[in-house]
Amino acid sequence: MEVIIRPTYQEMSQAAAHEVAKVLNTKPNAVMGMATGSTPLGLYQELVRMHVEEALDFSQVTTFNLDEYVGLPVTHPQSYHHFMHEIFFRHINIPPQNIYIPSGTTSNYPAFCQWYEDSIQRCGGIDLQILGIGTDGHIAFNEPGSSLSSRTRLKTLAKQTIEDNSRFFEHPGEVPVYAITMGVGTILEAKEIILIANGANKAAAITAAIEGPITSMITASGLQLHPTAKVFLDHEAANQLSMREYYDWLEEKRPGAPR
């Protein structure tokens, strides 16, 4: 696992965006896994800027979102359909038919989840997966205790996740209790993974995921098993890492690093 630390959220977001651009410039028809929430906002804003100012092309890209709340229609302001279209998709040149987001209103969740898994495979698998991390160390909606070999499925959200996400809703009681989420096993099959985290409230989860044991109680720790996972952090999110100096040393000495 490669750990890249930048002083600020903006610099962290820019570094992660340039990693995404590198993949797209190498493979214009890349399949991308997309995350939602407040953390990736800066990353998406930088990708939009690169599209507008530097002609970063999304015309052949296919995307699969990690998750969606159950019970929210696509027009709901807190649905991940709405989030992705307002924040990102409507600002770039991705074809609408290339966008896949789990349905929170399907009448047959097991069949839909299998179809979603099959669709990822039919598109050749995910080339680059973008992830955030919850304060309890979860990725996507794979709450503590989720199997590290889990697949796309219906998942009951933990109380901590519901509390963390209540700030996006007018009333805490409006936060859905269920979601459809890619599994940890699905995520780990991506050819490349980048996880982004900022803020002191994520520091404990980041430390457990990077330096702790691999455990289903911290599903982000499963990224330790991935051969090319990269973690982008700001200083606050990195402030509990015991090997912080070593990560900085690796970054300084990596081939091509600024001198």
- The domain that holds 76 is classified in CATH as 3.40.50.1360
Establish if 243 belongs to a structural domain. no
- Residue 170: what pLDDT? 82
Establish if 210 belongs to a structural domain. no
Establish if 156 belongs to a structural domain. yes
Establish if 21 belongs to a structural domain. yes
**Cα separation, 36 vs 132, whole angstroms:** 8
Total tally of structural domains belonging to the chain: 1
Establish if 245 belongs to a structural domain. no
Kindly list the averaged pLDDT for each block of 10 residues, start to end, along the chain of length 259. Answer: 96 98 98 96 98 98 97 92 97 98 95 98 98 96 97 94 86 88 98 98 98 98 97 98 94 72
Establish if 256 belongs to a structural domain. no
- Residue 245: what pLDDT? 94
**Cα separation, 86 vs 7, whole angstroms:** 28
Establish if 28 belongs to a structural domain. yes
Sign of torsion over alpha carbons 109, 122, 24, 230: positive
- Residue 257: what pLDDT? 59
**Cα separation, 52 vs 212, whole angstroms:** 41
Establish if 126 belongs to a structural domain. yes
Domain that holds residue 176: 7-135+143-191
This model's pTM is above 0.85:
yes
Residues tagged active-site: 67, 136, 138, 143
